[in-house]
Amino acid sequence: LLVAQLRALALYVQQACNGDLVVLLGSGYPAHKAHQPAGQLPAPVNLRLARGKVSGQLMARANIVARAGSYQWRHAAAAAPTAWTLVDPTLAASVALDGLVPGTQYVVQVRAVGSNGPSDWSSAASLMVV
């Protein structure tokens, strides 16, 4: 009940101050910035690959991008670097890539996704799967 009453009072103060910051601050309520979209996110950096614990697996990891909600991953055989396979998005800046062909060199890229859409793709990293 108290929380509901404080929210109602805050709404009243917001309307009564009519955009006047001095009046708002005089009420005892703090001023908050309006929510602004994150803007275009930078491409993830420091993409690194490691061989997985099982045959046909690569582990990929990149530095975390601030304000990213998810990450999209893609990989391709180095012999056909434009025939990308998209992987399900992840919430973390890491992924296990399974079902790869042992003895094949792969290239991997990642991009961050935020409120304004995806970033550019990262620089590619490459490693042979065992």
Closest CA relative to residue 130, chosen from 109, 107, 101, 106: 101
> Can you name the residues that pair with 112 across neighbouring β-strands?
71
Angle at 14 between CA 13 and CA 17, to 5 degrees: 75
Q: What is the per-residue pLDDT across 46-73, written as a single tens digit (0 to 9) for each?
A: 999 999 999 999 999 999 999 999 999 9
Residues 110, 93 contacting (CB under 8 angstroms): yes
pLDDT for 5-51, tens place per residue? 877 777 777 777 777 778 777 877 777 765 555 578 999 999 999 99
Residue type for 41, please?
Answer: L
Q: Letter for the amino acid at 84?
A: W
**Cα–Cα distances in angstroms (integers) from residue 116 to residues 72, 94, 128, in the given order:** 14, 21, 34
pLDDT score of 33: 63
Specify the DSSP class assigned to residue 13.
H
CA distance 98 to 12: 56
Question: Tens digit of pLDDT for each residue in 73-105?
Answer: 999 999 998 899 999 999 999 999 999 999 999
Q: Which residue has the tokens 């910051």?
A: 21
